[in-house]
């Protein structure tokens, strides 16, 4: 027992040292690269609004409250609500959850590897997990998937009430970070419970732990109810959003993309490196389902008494992998693959341990991961693929971004030079909350990121919000998202589009703009 306790403490120190150190180095290396007006702005703008007393979901379209409260707390602590503060907040969450991921992975090698090999393995795993935490503002989802695997390990490896209670706390907090994580976590926990019952675990033995798990979940999720107490109207907006989500189709939140199967990879003008990356990505989408299913099939016949921590880790990752595969397939791109791949990585690392080749397998996984992410990691695309990037100063921080980002920023500054009052009172649609975050300007609508069609009642409510202070300028990109004409803003929001056309006129600008710019007509009535 003393040896196990000593090894536990050693693993804890090692996971913190490797996870925090590698994450810090990764952050310092990458944080200045890239910028996304849409998804990144969605996170950053929301955190800014929380700092100004607004409530996510109630006052603006948002994910669940967890990431915004975390980011706002960090940004407040360092006195910076700019781009550095937003990225540091996500980086800290990434560092902590990567450390948890390293600790989980070390469970498989704790008895079979010497100290030097364990240290090298830990640092390789920390690097692997950091590489996949992309884009950085999705680290809250990525890190939460790591926590779900840890939750399942607690359930499967112990019958102690305190551990199941802790697992419930993790699930509740995961739901605070995102209701989808709560659903995925609950589904995988039910699978774990079913597995224990099938393996002849007596129901009476699991009753008290299961009750503790439910209690922990309720307490973990209670942060949402606390928000409801301090922000009147929040719970009503949350419940309305849940009802709307349940009634809507699966494509309402994620617009589907065709799965990039490996046989669809083409060489063409992309070159062999990118072909190899596309092929590996396609294989990864296959692995999302095949690897967990194979792991369950192999372990299904093994008696529970013969399970080691490695076997428990395999089955925990397999259950998590099956449910998280849904997220990747809901919009089959590299970003959603990244947010679903942790369980598969854990299973493959464990397979390396089983064949006593953990280090070579870890090195191969790092290499393949970098290959798959060449185009999606701005630093790699710049250094390896020689994709041009331009330096720009944003909120006092020097960033290296793609040229089109600079063009948007320059176009916006030109508009403000022509219409000075617009800097604090403009509206950028449909997917530019990042422009508002850069300028620290409030959006006058609730739907800060428009991705789906809305009914007339919703649009009328948006127009009512604009009535007290109609924007001086509207910047509109009426592009067809995913090359689908039905996803143009003018089609999805016909009343809003008509109001803009009726009450604004095209701006006369000497500087070319990547968006259509409309200036409010003199004397135009409020909506």
**How far is it, in rounded angstroms, from Cα 165 to Cα 171?**
10
3-class SS string, 321-353: HHHHHHHHHHCCCHHHHHCCCHHHHHHHHHHHH
Whole-prediction pTM: 0.95
**pLDDT score at 113:** 77
Residue with tokens 């947010």: 339
Closest CA to 92 of 180, 148, 31, 10: 31
Beta bridge partners of 232: none
Contact yes or no for 470/526 (Cβ under 8 A) = yes
pLDDT, one tens digit for every residue, the chain (527 residues): 455 777 788 899 999 999 999 999 999 999 999 999 999 999 999 999 999 999 999 999 999 999 999 999 999 999 999 999 999 999 999 999 999 999 999 998 866 678 899 999 999 999 999 999 999 999 999 999 999 999 999 999 999 999 999 999 999 999 999 999 999 999 999 999 999 999 888 899 999 999 999 999 999 999 999 999 999 999 999 999 888 877 765 444 578 889 999 999 887 666 888 999 999 999 999 999 999 999 999 999 899 889 999 999 999 999 999 999 999 999 999 999 999 999 999 999 999 999 889 999 999 999 999 999 999 999 999 999 889 999 999 999 999 999 999 999 999 999 999 999 999 999 999 999 999 999 999 999 999 999 999 999 999 999 999 998 999 999 999 999 888 999 999 999 999 999 999 999 999 887 777 899 999 997 767 67
Q: Which pLDDT tens digit goes with each residue over 84-115?
A: 999 999 999 999 999 999 999 999 886 667 88
In the chain, domain spans = 2-237+259-380, 402-520
Sorted by sequence, the CB contacts under 8 Å of residue 363 that are 6+ apart come out as 124
3-class SS string, 191-254: HHHHHHHHCCCCHHHHHHHHHHHHHHHHHHHHHHHHHHHHCCCHHHHHHHHHHHHHHCCHHHCC
CA dihedral sign of residues 436, 253, 171, 284: negative
Closest CA to 285 of 333, 342, 319, 350: 333
3-class DSSP assignment, residue 52: coil
């Amino acid at each position: 027992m003393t040896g196990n306790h000593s090894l536990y403490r050693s693993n804890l120190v090692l996971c913190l040292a490797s996870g925090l150190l590698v994450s810090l180095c990764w952050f310092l290396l990458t944080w200045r690269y890239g910028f996304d007006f849409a998804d990144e702005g969605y996170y950053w703008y929301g955190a800014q609004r929380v700092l100004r007393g607004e409530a996510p979901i109630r006052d603006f379209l948002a994910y669940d409250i967890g990431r915004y409260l975390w980011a706002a707390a960090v940004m407040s602590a360092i006195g910076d609500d700019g781009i550095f503060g937003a990225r540091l907040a996500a980086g800290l969450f990434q560092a902590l959850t990567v450390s948890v991921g390293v600790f989980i992975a070390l469970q498989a090698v704790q008895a079979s590897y010497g100290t030097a090999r364990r240290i090298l393995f830990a640092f390789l795993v920390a690097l692997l997990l950091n590489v996949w935490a992309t884009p950085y503002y999705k680290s809250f989802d990525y890190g939460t998937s790591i926590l779900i695997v840890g939750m399942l390990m607690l359930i499967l490896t112990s019958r102690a009430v305190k551990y199941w209670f802790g697992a419930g706390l993790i699930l509740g907090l995961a739901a605070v970070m995102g209701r989808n994580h709560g659903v995925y976590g609950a589904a995988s926990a039910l699978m774990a419970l079913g597995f224990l019952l099938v393996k002849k675990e007596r129901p009476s033995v699991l009753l008290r732990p299961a009750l503790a798990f439910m209690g922990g979940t309720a307490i973990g999720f209670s942060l949402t109810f606390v928000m409801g107490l301090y922000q009147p109207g929040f719970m009503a907006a949350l419940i309305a959003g849940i009802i709307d989500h349940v009634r809507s189709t699966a494509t309402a939140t994620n617009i589907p993309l065709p799965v990039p199967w490996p046989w669809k990879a083409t060489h063409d003008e992309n070159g062999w490196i990118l072909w190899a990356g596309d092929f590996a990505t396609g294989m990864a989408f296959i692995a999302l389902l095949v690897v967990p299913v194979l792991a369950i099939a192999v372990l299904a016949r093994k008696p529970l008494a013969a399970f080691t921590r490695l076997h428990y880790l395999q089955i925990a990752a397999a259950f998590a992998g099956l449910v998280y595969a849904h997220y990747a397939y809901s919009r089959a791109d590299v970003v959603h693959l990244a947010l679903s791949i942790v369980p598969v990585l854990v299973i493959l690392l464990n397979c390396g341990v089983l064949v006593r080749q953990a280090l070579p397998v870890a090195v191969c996984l790092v290499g393949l991961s970098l290959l798959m992410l060449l185009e999606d990691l701005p630093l790699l695309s710049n250094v390896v693929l020689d994709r041009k990037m331009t330096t720009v100063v944003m909120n006092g921080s020097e960033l290296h971004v793609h040229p089109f980002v600079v063009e948007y920023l320059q176009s916006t500054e030109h508009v403000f030079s022509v219409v000075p009052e617009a800097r604090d009172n403009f509206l950028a649609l449909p997917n530019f909350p990042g422009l508002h975050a850069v300028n620290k300007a409030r959006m006058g609508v609730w739907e800060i990121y428009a991705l789906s069609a809305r009914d007339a009642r919703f649009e009328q409510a948006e127009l009512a919000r604009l009535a007290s202070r109609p924007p001086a300028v509207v910047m509109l990109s009426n592009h067809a998202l995913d090359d689908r004409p039905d996803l143009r803003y003018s089609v999805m929001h016909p009343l809003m589009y008509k109001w803009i056309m009726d009450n604004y006129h095209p701006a006369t600008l000497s500087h070319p703009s990547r968006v259509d710019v409309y200036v409010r007509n003199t004397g135009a009535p409020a909506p």
